[in-house]
């Protein structure tokens, strides 16, 4: 369930030498989700979340009148927002997890496992942030055909975040008694990689972004441009991690920090605070008009990324946001429009893209590799597969913040690899036709084709979860009132060849580390669909 309220107010004040604009905005939304997120036929765990967000923004912008040599824009921007997020994982009364864990953890006492039933893990997360920014842009007209555009933005962000996770009865409010809490803590840590914790932090960022673009009109039909742009995506706080980033943030039954530096068995280092992502992008492009019938735009881009922000599955029932080091992406894009005749219009686009991790040594291992390494990852309950060899995964020791200890964890070195969803090429082709049937009716029809090369749908680039290349065909046939333009009726067909496309895939939570199996799930995009659409303007 999702509800959104949005209000915007724009005020323009014409002045003698320019225009002053005030832009005010307010947004809030509420989002509720209930998910059977164990992705199995059995009732194991239930996940529910409630999210509430509120934002206010105010911008003041002055735009100068068109000058002979220089035009400029200067302004200031302020934004204040608040996010409150509450979620929980619950072991329902009729859950099959008790029987499953009793079989797997033969060494654990039955009372500890039966204590899981009816328990939830309520998590409360909130973050308040304020953004202050000043910006300016100037266009220098060296001649009628040569322009230099320079932009600068100075930003200051203040964020305060807090996340608390603990155990409670299924009603989310009733606390567990001390002995049961201790037994629950052991099983949740070992089986689900969940540890009670209480994390609070405040971060301040000051960043400068800039842009430089030079444009050259070759003639009235051709324009060449070259740009360099530096930008950033601010750091923040991780909503969904199930473990603290510092062992001293582990919490007791009352939610108080332990601060004892002791590392629990099978402890997984989570995340709470992540850093900025910064990008420096270059682009070289040509915009061309060929006579009165065709337009072709081409562009080559190259981007360096530092501290790429990724949300990575933790192998249990959560995700961790982290910075993946350095990456580069480059590509070539071509867009075109051709007026074939008075009634026919053809549009086409083609993109080639390449992505490479330059430094990413702590990636997510595939389940196949983990199963091969099971004699060290989970010797108590995984079955070793002697026929498979680990490809790109190794066990490394990482320090546990807040202690003198290290833990052994599997990591994949993805340096030199591509990224999730990156296809070598993709494109689209569209053909449209329109003509008057008579004095009262206009017919508009079109077919478009979207195509792509193969790409990987999983964060760990598991070869078994590769999506093959495909083409999707869509059509739209419409009759339009050609007199008053009050009504329109259309037949719409989407994915009319019924292509099966996986939009996202991952390992099933608990499957590898708990059940010792390679099991995956995926989301299928909407298959063939047809609709009759009507529109009437009153």
Reduced 3-state DSSP string for 426-450: EEEEEEEEEEECCCCEEEEEEEEEE
pLDDT at 375: 61
At 489 the three-state DSSP class reads: strand
Task: Pick the closest to residue 56 from 90, 85, 77, 81 (CA basis).
Answer: 81
- Give the dihedral of Cα atoms 391, 393, 395, 400; nearest 10 deg: 180
Closest CA to 132 of 52, 200, 230, 234: 234
What is the spatial distance between Cα 538 and Cα 525, in angstroms, rounded to a whole number?
35
Beta bridge partners of 347: 337, 430
DSSP string, 293-321: TEEEEEEEEEEEEES-EEEEE-SSS-EEE
Q: How many CB atoms lie within 10 A of CB 327?
A: 25
Pairing of strands 46-64, 70-90: antiparallel
Encode the chain (538 residues) as per-residue pLDDT tens digits.
789 999 999 999 999 889 999 999 999 999 998 887 767 777 777 788 999 999 999 999 999 987 789 999 999 999 999 999 999 888 777 777 767 776 666 555 566 677 777 888 899 999 999 999 999 999 999 999 999 999 999 999 999 999 999 988 877 778 888 888 888 887 777 777 889 999 999 999 999 999 999 999 999 999 999 999 999 999 999 998 999 999 999 999 989 998 888 888 778 889 999 999 999 999 999 999 998 899 999 999 999 999 999 988 887 777 899 898 899 999 999 999 999 999 999 999 999 999 999 999 888 888 888 887 766 444 433 344 444 444 578 888 899 999 988 988 888 999 999 999 999 999 999 999 999 998 889 999 999 999 999 999 998 999 999 999 999 999 999 999 988 778 999 999 999 999 999 999 988 877 787 777 888 889 999 999 999 999 988 8
pLDDT for residue 483: 80
What pLDDT was estimated at residue 391? 57
Instruction: Give the pLDDT score at 385.
Output: 46
Categorise residue 180: left if φ over 0, alpha if ψ from -120 to 50, beta otherwise.
alpha
Q: What is the pLDDT of residue 109?
A: 57
Residue 278 CA to residue 231 CA, distance in Å, equals: 6
410 bridge partner residues: 395
What is the rounded CA–CA span in Å between residue 109 and residue 116? 12
Placement of tokens 């409670």 in the chain: 168
**Predicted pLDDT of residue 138:** 96
Q: What is the reported pTM?
A: 0.87
Q: How many residues are recorded in the chain?
A: 538
Q: How many whole angstroms separate alpha carbon 59 and alpha carbon 23? A: 5
């Amino acid at each position: 369930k999702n509800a959104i309220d949005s209000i915007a107010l724009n005020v323009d004040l014409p002045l003698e030498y320019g225009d002053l604009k005030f832009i005010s905005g307010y947004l809030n939304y509420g989002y509720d989700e209930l998910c059977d997120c164990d992705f199995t036929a059995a009732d194991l765990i239930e996940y529910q979340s409630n999210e509430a967000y509120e934002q206010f923004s105010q911008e003041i912008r002055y735009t100068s009148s068109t000058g002979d040599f220089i035009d400029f824009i200067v302004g200031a921007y302020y934004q204040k927002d608040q996010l409150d997020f509450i979620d929980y994982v619950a072991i329902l009364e009729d859950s099959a997890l008790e029987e499953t864990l009793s079989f797997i953890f033969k060494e654990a006492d039955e009372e500890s496992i039966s204590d899981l039933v009816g328990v939830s893990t309520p998590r409360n997360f909130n973050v308040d942030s304020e953004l202050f920014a000043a910006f300016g842009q100037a266009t220098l007209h060296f001649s009628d055909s040569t322009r230099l555009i320079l932009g600068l933005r100075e930003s200051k962000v203040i964020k305060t975040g807090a996340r608390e996770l603990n155990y409670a009865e299924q009603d989310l409010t009733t606390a567990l008694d001390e002995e049961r809490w201790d037994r629950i803590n052991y099983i949740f840590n070992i089986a689900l990689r969940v540890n009670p914790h209480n994390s609070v932090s405040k971060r301040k960022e000051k960043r400068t972004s800039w842009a430089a673009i030079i444009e050259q009109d070759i003639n009235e039909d051709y324009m060449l441009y070259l740009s360099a742009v530096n930008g950033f995506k601010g750091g923040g706080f991780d909503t969904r991690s199930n473990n603290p980033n510092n062992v001293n943030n582990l919490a007791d039954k009352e939610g108080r920090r332990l601060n004892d530096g002791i590392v629990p068995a099978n402890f997984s280092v989570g995340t709470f605070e992540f850093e900025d992502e910064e990008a420096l992008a270059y682009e070289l492009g040509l915009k061309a008009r060929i006579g009165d019938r065709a337009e072709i735009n081409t562009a080559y881009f190259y981007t360096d990324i530092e501290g790429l922000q990724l949300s990575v599955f933790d192998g249990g029932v959560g995700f961790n946001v982290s910075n993946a080091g350095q990456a580069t992406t480059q590509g070539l894009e071509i867009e075109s429009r051709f007026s074939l005749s008075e009634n026919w219009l053809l549009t086409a686009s083609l993109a080639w893209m390449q992505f490479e991790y330059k430094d990413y040594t702590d990636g997510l291992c595939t389940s196949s590799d983990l199963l091969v390494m099971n004699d060290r990852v989970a010797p108590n309950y995984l079955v070793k597969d002697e026929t498979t060899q680990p490809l790109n995964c190794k066990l490394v020791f990482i320090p546990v913040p807040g202690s003198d200890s290290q833990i052994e964890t599997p990591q994949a070195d993805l340096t030199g690899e591509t990224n999730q969803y990156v296809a070598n090429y993709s494109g689209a082709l569209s053909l449209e036709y329109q003509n008057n049937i008579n004095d009262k009716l206009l017919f508009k029809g079109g077919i478009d084709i979207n195509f792509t090369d193969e790409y990987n749908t999983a964060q760990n680039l598991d070869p078994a979860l590769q999506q093959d290349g495909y083409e999707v065909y869509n059509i739209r046939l419409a009759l339009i009132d050609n007199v008053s333009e009050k009504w329109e009726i259309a037949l719409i067909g989407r994915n009319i060849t019924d292509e099966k496309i996986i939009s996202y895939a991952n390992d099933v939570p608990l499957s590898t580390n708990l059940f010792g199996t390679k099991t995956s799930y995926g989301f299928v995009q909407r298959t063939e669909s047809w609709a009759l659409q009507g529109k009437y303007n009153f």
